[in-house]
């Protein structure tokens, strides 16, 4: 891993993957084609990009049953336990409607309502991520979304991966479509003969999925634009070099562009972790992916003390942060920007990826500066409530009218003044 | 106003203003130029589009003081009262951090942190909207954002409108820049020599502002993409036709594309409101704006009953909704999609625009289906917290490893297994 000892975090500027103009245009064409030709375009793109001739876009209940039965029992049990934990955590996030009466009988408040329909995109192709089904869909189900749709590209055998279907079955998702890439996003945003459009699209995907989400944004809602995975491990001498190395590698194996960073005031720990990473890399099955991540993106940032370490974390605003320090309680208050924070040496990042309960769809690429992990609040919205009384309006009406008139909005002023007793009404 | 009696709400499809390719490209060029040339580009575009030769981009404290003193006392008092109400409402929105200990000593939770910096865009030019300063900035201040920046185009006299500066002064905003349009958004997103970049940009603006916000989205956060204002008045025979008409006109006067809609089961009310709108329009100073809105966009939707009226509202998902009905309590539960809901006959929409407390920056163009008014939650984010214990990991580690291994992520499995007592560790 590359060492940084001068505090210069300029490598962060290279984090953002700029989309090529050609990719943008290609995505735009795919979206236009799906808008114009619907199902037929989905079939054509699936044949072209996934090499599959789809019969039905929708996955049948029978196919889901059969797929789930093919998943090893141990894994099905893990999916089930994870789902329970994820549900329990997200239930605590549910915001409540409230109203309150302020002076003069005026009632103010907000009403929380779930979205009508959402689409969960689950990456596929050569991979199989049942965990993404749970993390994308459970918060929507907890929020009370009426229609939760799953969409995922078919694998080479012509069906969505067994594990993905097993996870959907576990949580009761039955509306499942086979499509991937920009065409899947376009179908969810604008609908086809088979797929009714949704109000919001969430879930990670490749560059094409991300570009498509950005293009349809505004016509439908989206979650954040996901980039390569990131982990920052803030460690002191109390950390186990071998465990830290393994955690760094667990992110590195996601993508050649993934960013594993060790931040530590301990030169000896840094040296040991660096060696351990090299050693463990040798037997890692996904070494061809993890090695470029470690060698070209991964960093060891040597800092003066834990305070400087926390400042580095805030500049990175990592998706995942591990506080592998003896005294986590004194470091945590210094952290402003990190998507998910893992405290102490038993909180290995994969515990959060799969099992603990908090969401694993987390802002990347520094967007933890301003965004949150996916949650129940991603699937509800607030409506403001205002009930003014005669009394309150008589008291404040002339101030409101003066304000409106000052802004040049006479119609606003008149709407209020019409309700004022004895006021001059200009109409 | 156009009458719709057959339940066909197809007019909603025309609501979305499609941006011309030329406008998109023009905005892209402006952004590139600001990125490359900084302050100099801001000056050049301000000269070109606003006709102003800027000396300083930043507004001085002295200029703010002088501008505030020019605002009539009555208006300054209204601004001050409105600010207090807006602050009080938004303080109730502040989410709290929480943690809880689940089984085996595992701690889960979420930590709420304000954003470091935000930019509030306030439209200007010929208009002056102090209310937009309050509505954009107060939630950010309540959230605890460290740096709240205001940006607004200069007026013909070469300075931001007095009322805007007075509102900024009222709430203690001191970092104020003069720039408008796409160049202002680019400056906030990427920074110039004078203007440091921010993490999130909020506030309404014209088509260029909206297109620029969409283009910088992903590099910084933005609020929703604002379109023309909308009001739906759901009324029964208990409503005052003259008041309903005035409220419809108060939205119509915003923009030729604004959408005022009356939804009612009462033909007689509809007829009276229709006549009243025509009558009141005659003396409205902004008739040249309100008339096209009323004639070409405005609709009277005649429905069978209040239930069907509520269904129409949910299809429209209006920015503002007035329930001008005798029994608001029985209609409110039927409403799923509306940005701000005004209950009863004294809750004229301008009361919410200026004074009551809830935000007036509200989703438009049907996006109330999935988005909320601006609020404190627009200026904070959650970080998940996970502290696993040795005991919990020993109990669940093999399930987590099995799940990870099933997804083909051996590195994830190993990171967990390394911490398991007596487990085979593959490295």
Residues of A in contact with B111 (CB under 8 A): 332, 335, 341
Q: What is the pLDDT of residue B17?
A: 63
Of B72, B116, B357, the CB nearest to A369: B116
Of B349, B370, B406, the CB nearest to A415: B349
Q: What is the pLDDT of residue A354?
A: 96
| Inter-chain CB proximity B128 and A408 less than 8 Å | yes
Binding residues of A for substrate: 229, 251, 254, 320, 353, 407, 412
The answer to whether residue A108 scores a pLDDT higher than 80 is: yes
User: What average pLDDT does the segment A392-410 reach?
Assistant: 96
| Inter-chain CB proximity B415 and A246 less than 8 Å | yes
**Residue A4, strand partner residues:** A301
Chain A and chain B share a number of CB contacts under 8 A equal to 383
User: What average pLDDT does the segment B156-160 reach?
Assistant: 90
User: Which 214-233 residues of chain B touch chain A by CB within 8 A?
Assistant: 214, 217-221, 225
Per cent of chain A over pLDDT 90 is 89
Q: Which of A12-16, A357-361, A363-367 has the lowest mean pLDDT?
A: A12-16
The answer to whether residue B412 scores a pLDDT higher than 70 is: yes
Of B106, B349, B382, the CB nearest to A375: B382
Q: What is the pLDDT of residue A426?
A: 47
Q: What is the pLDDT of residue A218?
A: 85
Q: What is the pLDDT of residue B225?
A: 81
Tell me whether residue B224 is annotated as binding.
no
User: What average pLDDT does the segment A136-153 reach?
Assistant: 98
User: Which 379-408 residues of chain A touch chain B by CB within 8 A?
Assistant: 381-390, 392-393, 396, 399-400, 402-404, 406-408
**Catalytic member of A320, A322, A349, A360:** A320
The answer to whether residue B132 scores a pLDDT higher than 70 is: yes
B132 exposed, middle or buried (CB, 10 Å; 0-12, 13-18, 19+)?
Answer: buried
State the average pLDDT for chain B. 95
| Inter-chain CB proximity A382 and B393 less than 8 Å | no
Testing the interface with A: which of B320, B388, B389, B394 to mutate, by most A Cβ within 10 A? B388
State the average pLDDT for chain A. 95
Nearest residue on chain B to A404, alpha-carbon basis = B354
Per cent of chain B over pLDDT 70 is 98
A7 band by pLDDT with thresholds 50, 70 and 90 = confident
Query: How close, in Å, is residue A304 to chain B by CA atoms?
Result: 24
Q: For residue range B342-356, list pLDDT tens digits in order.
A: 999 999 999 999 999
Residues of B in contact with A342 (CB under 8 A): 386-388
| Inter-chain CB proximity A163 and B351 less than 8 Å | no
Testing the interface with A: which of B387, B391, B424 to mutate, by most A Cβ within 10 A? B387
- The two structure tokens encoding residue A165: 């279907």
CB B357 within 8 A of CB B89: yes
User: Which 310-349 residues of chain B touch chain A by CB within 8 A?
Assistant: 328, 332, 335-349
The answer to whether residue B314 scores a pLDDT higher than 50 is: yes
A355 band by pLDDT with thresholds 50, 70 and 90 = very high
| Inter-chain CB proximity A348 and B214 less than 8 Å | no
Of B218, B254, B414, the CB nearest to A225: B218
Of A102, A350, A403, the CB nearest to B412: A350
**Interface residue A131 vs chain B (CB under 8 A):** yes
A221 band by pLDDT with thresholds 50, 70 and 90 = very high
Look up A319 and say whether it is catalytic.
yes
Of B214, B372, B409, the CB nearest to A382: B372
The answer to whether residue B423 scores a pLDDT higher than 90 is: no
The answer to whether residue B427 scores a pLDDT higher than 80 is: no
Query: How close, in Å, is residue B128 to chain A by CA atoms?
Result: 6
The answer to whether residue B181 scores a pLDDT higher than 50 is: yes
**Interface residue B422 vs chain A (CB under 8 A):** no
Torsion of CA A368, A142, A117, B305, to 10 degrees: -130
Kindly list the structural domains of chain B, giving each domain's residue range(s) and its CATH number in brackets, ordered by start: 21-95+115-222 (3.40.50.1980), 227-370 (3.40.50.1980), 388-427 (no CATH)
User: What average pLDDT does the segment B267-289 reach?
Assistant: 97
Torsions phi, psi for B302 (to 5 deg)? -90, 125
The answer to whether residue B122 scores a pLDDT higher than 70 is: yes
| Inter-chain CB proximity A396 and B332 less than 8 Å | no
User: Which 245-304 residues of chain A touch chain B by CB within 8 A?
Assistant: 246-247, 249-250, 252-254, 279-280, 283-286, 290
| Inter-chain CB proximity A78 and B113 less than 8 Å | no
Q: What is the pLDDT of residue B19?
A: 67
Of A113, A368, A418, the CB nearest to B246: A418
Nearest residue on chain A to B253, alpha-carbon basis = A411
The answer to whether residue B258 scores a pLDDT higher than 60 is: yes
Strand order in the sheet with B200-202: B175-178, B147-152, B117-121, B200-202, B221-222
**Interface residue A35 vs chain B (CB under 8 A):** no
**Catalytic member of A230, A291, A319, A349:** A319
The answer to whether residue B39 scores a pLDDT higher than 90 is: yes
Q: What is the pLDDT of residue B226?
A: 77
CA B266, B319, B154, B207 torsion: positive or negative? negative
Residues of B in contact with A344 (CB under 8 A): 387-388
| Inter-chain CB proximity A347 and B388 less than 8 Å | yes
| Inter-chain CB proximity A254 and B409 less than 8 Å | yes
Query: How close, in Å, is residue B46 to chain A by CA atoms?
Result: 23
| Inter-chain CB proximity A249 and B16 less than 8 Å | no
Q: What is the pLDDT of residue A147?
A: 98
Of B75, B386, B412, the CB nearest to A406: B75
Tell me whether residue B251 is annotated as binding.
yes
Tell me whether residue B353 is annotated as binding.
yes
User: What average pLDDT does the segment B368-381 reach?
Assistant: 97
Q: What is the ipTM of this complex?
A: 0.95
Nearest residue on chain B to A113, alpha-carbon basis = B336
Q: What is the pLDDT of residue B319?
A: 97
| Inter-chain CB proximity B383 and A370 less than 8 Å | no
User: What average pLDDT does the segment A289-310 reach?
Assistant: 97
A427 band by pLDDT with thresholds 50, 70 and 90 = low
DSSP A112-171: EEE-SEEEEE---TT---HHHHHHHHHHHHHHT-SEEEEEE---TTSS--HHHHHHHHHH
Testing the interface with B: which of A92, A94, A427 to mutate, by most B Cβ within 10 A? A427
């Amino acid at each position: 891993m590359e060492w940084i000892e001068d505090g210069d975090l300029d490598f962060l500027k290279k984090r953002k993957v700029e989309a090529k103009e050609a990719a943008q245009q290609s995505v735009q064409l795919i979206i236009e084609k799906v808008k114009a030709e619907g199902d037929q375009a989905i079939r054509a793109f699936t044949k072209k990009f996934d090499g599959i001739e789809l019969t039905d876009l929708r996955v049948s209940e029978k196919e889901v049953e059969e797929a789930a039965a093919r998943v090893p029992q141990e894994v099905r049990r893990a999916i089930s336990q994870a789902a329970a934990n994820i549900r329990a955590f997200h239930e605590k996030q549910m915001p409540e409607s409230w109203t309150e009466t302020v002076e003069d009988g005026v009632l103010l408040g907000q009403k929380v309502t779930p979205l009508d329909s959402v689409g969960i995109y689950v990456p596929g192709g050569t991979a199989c991520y049942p965990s993404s089904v749970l993390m994308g869909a459970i918060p929507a189900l907890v929020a009370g979304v009426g229609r939760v749709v799953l969409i995922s590209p078919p694998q080479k055998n012509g069906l969505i991966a067994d594990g993905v279907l097993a996870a959907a079955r576990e949580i009761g998702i039955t509306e499942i479509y086979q499509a991937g890439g920009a065409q899947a996003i376009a179908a969810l945003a604008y609908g086809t003969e088979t797929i009714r459009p949704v109000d919001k699209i969430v879930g990670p995907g490749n560059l094409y999925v991300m570009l498509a989400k950005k293009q349809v944004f505004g016509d439908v809602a989206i979650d954040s634009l996901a980039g390569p995975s990131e982990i920052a491990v803030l460690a002191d001498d109390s950390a186990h070099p071998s465990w830290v190395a393994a955690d760094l590698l667990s992110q590195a194996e996601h993508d050649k562009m993934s960013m594993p960073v060790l931040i530590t005031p301990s030169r000896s720990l840094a040296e040991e972790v660096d060696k351990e990473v090299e050693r463990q890399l040798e037997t890692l099955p996904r070494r061809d992916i993890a090695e470029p991540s470690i060698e070209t993106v991964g960093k060891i940032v040597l800092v003066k003390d834990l305070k400087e370490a926390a400042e580095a974390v805030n500049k990175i605003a990592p998706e995942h942060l591990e506080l592998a320090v003896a005294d986590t309680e004194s470091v945590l208050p210094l952290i402003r920007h990190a998507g998910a924070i893992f405290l102490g040496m038993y909180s290995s990042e994969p515990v959060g990826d799969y099992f603990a309960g908090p969401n694993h769809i987390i802002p990347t690429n520094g967007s933890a500066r301003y965004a949150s992990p996916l949650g129940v609040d991603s699937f509800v919205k607030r409506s403001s409530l205002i009930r003014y009384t005669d009394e309150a309006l008589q008291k404040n009406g002339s101030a409101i009218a003066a304000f409106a008139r000052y802004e040049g909005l006479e119609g606003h002023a008149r709407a209020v003044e019409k309700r004022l007793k004895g006021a001059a009404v200009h109409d």
